[in-house]
Amino acid sequence: MTLLKSWIASANNATHPFPLNNLPYGIFATEGAEPRCGVAIGDLIFDITSAEAEGLINLIDEPLFDLPFWNPLMEQGPAVWAALRARLTSLLAEGSEEQDRVEPLLVAQSDAVLHMPFAVSEYTDFYAGRHHAQNVGTMFRGSENALPPNWLHIPIGYNGRASSVVVSGTDIRRPWGQLKSPDHDRPAFLPSRRFDIELEMGAIVGTPSDGPISVQEADDNIFGYVLLNDWSARDIQAWEYQPLGPFQAKATATSISPWIVTKAALEPFRCDTPAREHELLDHLKDCGPMLYDVDLSITMAPSGKPASTIARTNYREMYYSAAQQLAHHTTSGCPMNTGDLLGSGTISGPTKPERGSLLEISWGGKEPLTLDTGETRRFIEDGDTMTLTGAAKGDGYSIGFGYCVGTVLPALENPFAR
C-alpha cells in the first residue's frame, strides 16, 4: 500500500506518523474544554465528539463518542470499526466534498493535552519475547537452563494492576519496597535501587468473549495497539518473585502511548512469528501472519540533558503474537472484556543494541551503559526521562504511535518512618 493523500498537507509527509493511512484514536482536551474523542491526522486532531454531535458521523442509533474514552466504539465490534474508518477516510481524503464541514472541527495537536485513550478493564503482562527470556534466564540460571521447560509451549504471563496504567507524560515515582540486604540476615525496606523499563507493545481487546476462543477469533477481537512501558523494580522483583512471580515490583506504573493504532492500519505490516522448536498445541497454532513489522526504540535523557538512543528493535521479534496470548488467556474459561490490555512482554532482538530493558543492556548492572553525554547508567536514576517510540514503515508513509514518555521522580520520604 502507498500513501493515501489527504487535503491536510501535514498528513502527506512521508515521515509524519499520522497520515491518512493511520487515523489513530485518542482522547484530548483544549483549554477550557472537557476531554473528548479525537483522531490524529497530520499535525491536527479531528474532534470526533463534535463531529458526531453535528451529524457528520452517525454509525448507530445512539451516541458512541459522548464519553471521554473509546470503549463504547470498541465494544461494537469489527463491522462498526470498519464503518468508522471508511467514514473518516472519506471525510479526510484529498478531494473530499465535506472539507468545509470538517475544517472547523480540527484542533492543532500543539494546543491539546492528551489523556488515557480508553478505560482499562484489566491488565495482563506476558513474558513472550524469546531473546529477552533467554537473556534474563542466562543471567540468573545459566545458558543451559535459561528457558523454563514450559516457555516454548505456552505464553507465560501474570495479572497486573489496571489501576496503575497511566498515559504517556505521567511522571513515575520511584517505589519503595522490601529488598534483600547483602549485609544483613533480614531484608530492608528501601527505595528501589534497580529501577528499570521494559519496551513492550500493548494489545487492546475490543470484542468481549466468554469462554475459550481460537487464535483467529482472538485476532478478530483485538481493536488496536499502543506502545507500553512496564516499569520494573528489579531488586524488589528478585526478592519477591519466588514462588508466585512478580507482584509489587510491577505495580508502580505501566505507561502507554496516547494514540490507539488500529489493527486495520497495521494490516499491511503483518509478518510471521519465528520458526518453532516444538509444535504448538492446537489452541495456539499460527493461522497466518500474526505479528507486525514495527520498528521500536528507547531513548534515555538525564535531567536537563539531551536524549541518547539506547536500543532499537522490532515487534516481529516476539515469539508469541497478541492473538496467541489472548487465545491462551481464554482457555480456562476466563472472560475477556472490552478494554482489557495485554502487554506483549519485553521486546528484544538477538544483539546487544536490540535489548529492550536496562537489565539486559547493562547485563544486570555488570556492564554499565555509556550515554551520549558521557554519563553511565546501570539502571534508571532520578530525573531520567525514558521515551519509547514505534513506527511501521510503508511505501512513502509511516504508521506511528506517538511517544510513550515517563520521567522518574525521587522516592517519597519513608511513609512508615517512626
Banded pLDDT at 1 (limits 50, 70, 90): confident
Q: In the prediction, which pLDDT does 100 show?
A: 98
Residue 232 banded pLDDT, cuts 50, 70, 90: very high
Domain 123-409, classified CATH 3.40.50.720, yes or no: no
| Residue of 181 and 216 predicted with greater confidence | 216
Average pLDDT of every residue of the chain: 96
Average pLDDT of the segment spanning 321-339: 97
The 10 Å Cβ neighbour count of residue 210 is 11
Q: Do 392 and 398 meet the contact criterion of CB atoms below 8 Å apart?
A: yes
CB 124 within 8 A of CB 160: yes
pTM, 2 dp: 0.97
The verdict on whether 132 is a catalytic residue reads: yes
Using a pLDDT cut of 70, give the percent of the chain over it: 99
Residue 185 has pLDDT above 90, yes or no: no
pLDDT in tens, 337-379: 999 999 999 999 999 999 999 999 999 999 999 999 999 999 9
Our CA angle for 202, 106, 2, nearest 5°, is 60
Domain coordinates in residue numbering, the chain = 9-115, 123-409
Place of cell 516481529: 316
The answer to whether domain 9-115 has CATH 1.10.3720.10 is: no
pLDDT of residue 140: 87
From 16, 115, 131, 132, the catalytic residue: 132
Instruction: Give the number of C-alpha atoms closer than 13 A to the C-alpha of residue 131, restricted to the C-beta side.
Output: 22
Residues 32-49 pLDDT 10s: 999 999 999 999 999 999
